[in-house]
Amino acid sequence: MDHFPIVRSLARISLSNDDGPARHQVTRLAAALKKAGDSDSVALEKLLTSTQRPKELAPSRLTQSGTAARTVERLSRNAAVPVDRETSAPLASIIFPEENTASFPAFPRHVRDTVSALELEWEHHERIAAEGLTPSLSCLLYGQPGTGKTTLALWVAKTLELPAVIARLDGLISSFLGTTARNLGALFAFANRYECVLILDEFDAIAKLRDDPNEVGEIKRVVNALLQNIDLRAERGITFGLTNHSALLDPAVWRRFDVQLELPLPNTEQRLQIVSGLLHPESPAESAEAKLLAWVSAGISGAELQTMARRLLKRRITSANTDSSPVEVIGQIARSTSAQTSGERAGELIAESPNTLRRLVRSEEIRFSQAELAHLLGVSAKTVARRLAENESEELDNAS
């Protein structure tokens, strides 16, 4: 169809404000295009599916208060995001379900179990309500940077087919007296009006210890305003608080969240999962490189590991004909990507160093075969066997 991108944009705008006549006409158009064999019908069908009203897990179905039901509006692209009055800067950004590309991060078993339990509460919210209870609608995610806090919150919004309203609380702070508390009020009023998942990033920027002697009275009043707004939203919609500095949070803040979940640095299993998901190893050689990258990245975040994996992919493309061994390439990537955390392991990834072979052979968490070691070091399998024999002989001499 000529000018189909314009038609699709018009359809998206219409569907965001109308579930009746506009949807009927777009459905007719999609059917006509499909009957005519026009592949543009697929795009319209996807648009119709993605703009359906959120189903039974939506907050409007989850959030009946104890006294009366609330009317929650559907968030459309035409909704005006609140702004700071002094600077006109938006107080939040919105990611709609069709734009949300988040995938479930690689987490240990206890994190996956906690998230699964939350999903079960949302799935059985009617049974929970019948007992006079409400599902857990607030979750504080804390941990080091890059451990997947934002990705997990976005994944929940995507799973529930709800828009994600993301606010960096450090961006709400104003030098004008009273403006910060007013910004908080405007943000929560907006989130409470619509079906959405509210994600409060950099939570520690405001939620600091109220008895901190270094903070002025205005910040203490802001913390009180934040607590009050969280209380008001307690049964109105799903809220995530994200922080890298949990020690800075006021004790009263912790009590406002039904679930408090620490996201740890990835262990060996998760590192292998992250690397394999990005590198997609298709040969024993590529599998060996994935294992080495997972081994050298002990102690770093998932986000840093993803950066390292992408750099390795680029090095494969740009340095295919160089003489550098995979050990040297991966060591250089590790040292220059995560200089503060890659530490001892990255420093020892030198092909000619006997310590490199020794450490990899003795690795308990990730096992390397002699064939894999030969590829990684850029030598033959016979050379690896000879070096291993020499190391063993040397150790016996030292022991005697």
Q: What single letter denotes the amino acid at residue 69? A: A
DSSP code at position 141: E
Helices marked H in 124-216 — which ranges?
125-130, 149-159, 179-193
What pLDDT is attached to residue 212? 54
Residues 222-241: pLDDT tens digits? 888 888 999 999 888 899 99
Task: Give CA–CA dist 137/144, Å, rounded.
Answer: 23
Residues 21-36: pLDDT tens digits? 677 777 888 888 787 8
Residues 107-119: pLDDT tens digits? 999 999 999 999 8
State the pLDDT confidence band at 14, using cuts at 50, 70 and 90.
confident
State the pLDDT confidence band at 257, using cuts at 50, 70 and 90.
very high
Is the CB of residue 254 less than 8 Å from the CB of residue 140? yes
**pLDDT above 70 covers what percent of the chain?**
81
Instruction: Indicate if the pLDDT at residue 308 is higher than 70.
Output: yes
Instruction: Indicate if the pLDDT at residue 253 is higher than 50.
Output: yes
Instruction: Indicate if the pLDDT at residue 19 is higher than 70.
Output: no
Task: Give CA–CA dist 175/66, Å, rounded.
Answer: 39
What pLDDT is attached to residue 68? 37
Instruction: Indicate if the pLDDT at residue 98 is higher than 90.
Output: yes
Query: What's the burial of 2, exposed, middle or buried (CB within 10 Å: 0-12/13-18/19+)?
Result: exposed
**Window from 45-54, 114-123, 334-343 with minimum mean pLDDT:** 45-54
What pLDDT is attached to residue 221? 80
Which one of 4-13, 69-78, 112-121, 343-352 scores highest in mean pLDDT? 112-121
Instruction: Indicate if the pLDDT at residue 336 is higher than 70.
Output: yes
Task: Give CA–CA dist 13/319, Å, rounded.
Answer: 47
**Window from 4-8, 161-165, 168-172, 180-184 with minimum mean pLDDT:** 4-8
What pLDDT is attached to residue 17? 58
Residues 167-182: pLDDT tens digits? 998 888 876 767 888 9
- Residue-averaged pLDDT of the chain: 83
Q: What is the mean pLDDT of residues 63-68?
A: 40
* Backbone phi and psi for residue 166, each to the nearest 5 degrees, phi listed first: -110, 125
Residues 358-371: pLDDT tens digits? 888 888 889 999 99
Instruction: Indicate if the pLDDT at residue 75 is higher than 70.
Output: yes
What pLDDT is attached to residue 341? 53
CATH topology of domain 59-262: Rossmann fold (3.40.50)
Domain boundaries, the chain: 4-50, 59-262, 268-399
What pLDDT is attached to residue 79? 92
